[in-house]
Amino acid sequence: MIPILLAASLLAGDVDAQGLHRAVKAQKGRAVVVNFWATWCEPCVKEFPDFVALAKDRKDIAVISVTIDEASDRGAVEDFLKKQKPTFPVYLKASGSDEAFINGVDPKWSGAVPLTMVYGADGKRLLFEEREISRKEIEAALGKK
């Protein structure tokens, strides 16, 4: 049973910008936190446990995680996830143009990671932060439970 649970916490697959937007919309009625990260990004690695804890404690919030690591770094990503044990889906950025992915997510995005976007249950975006962010800030943006 445990190996099955661990396997379920690993990469959910590849995602392009359109697929990501669909995944966010599919959570209609729930607040959504989308975090972009990479194994080589120190602040991303540092803040990741906050997202793991948030997803465990707040079932009213959907967390979607996207790593921009290259497909060739899949092993490092999976090793990282084995340790972190996220309960939310973690996608690998689909292969193809990085710039098209960045602009497809949001033309406002410079391409810097970490990037965290927070949407309210009504689908309205409340936060767009290209920096390390804390759980406290996310919960403050979403208001009281």
Partner 1 sequence: MRQYLAVVGLALMASTAAAGVAIGDKLEPFALKDATSGKDVDLKSAAGQKATVLMFIATQCPVSNDYNERMASLAKDYSGKGVAFVGINSNKQEAADEVAAHAKEHGFSFPVLKDPDNVKADQFGARVTPEVYVYDTDWKLRYHGRIDDKRAVSEVSSKDLSAALDAVLTGKEVAVAETKAFGCTIKRVTK
Which residues bind to partner 1, rule: CB under 8 A? 38, 40-43, 68, 70, 97-99, 102-103, 109-114, 130-132
- To partner 1, the closest distance from the beta carbon of 38 in angstroms equals 7
Instruction: List, as own/partner pairs, every contact residues 129-135 make where C-beta atoms lie below 8 angstroms and the sequence separation is at least 24, other chains included.
Output: 131/43, 132/43, 132/44, 132/46, 132/47, 133/47, 133/50, 134/47, 134/50, 135/50, 135/51, 135/53, 135/54
Q: Which is nearer to partner 1, 60 or 98 (CB)?
A: 98
Say which amino acid occupies 115. L
Q: Which is nearer to partner 1, 24 or 38 (CB)?
A: 38
- To partner 1, the closest distance from the beta carbon of 109 in angstroms equals 8
- To partner 1, the closest distance from the beta carbon of 113 in angstroms equals 7
- To partner 1, the closest distance from the beta carbon of 101 in angstroms equals 9
Q: Which is nearer to partner 1, 8 or 71 (CB)?
A: 71
Which H or E run includes 8? helix 2-8
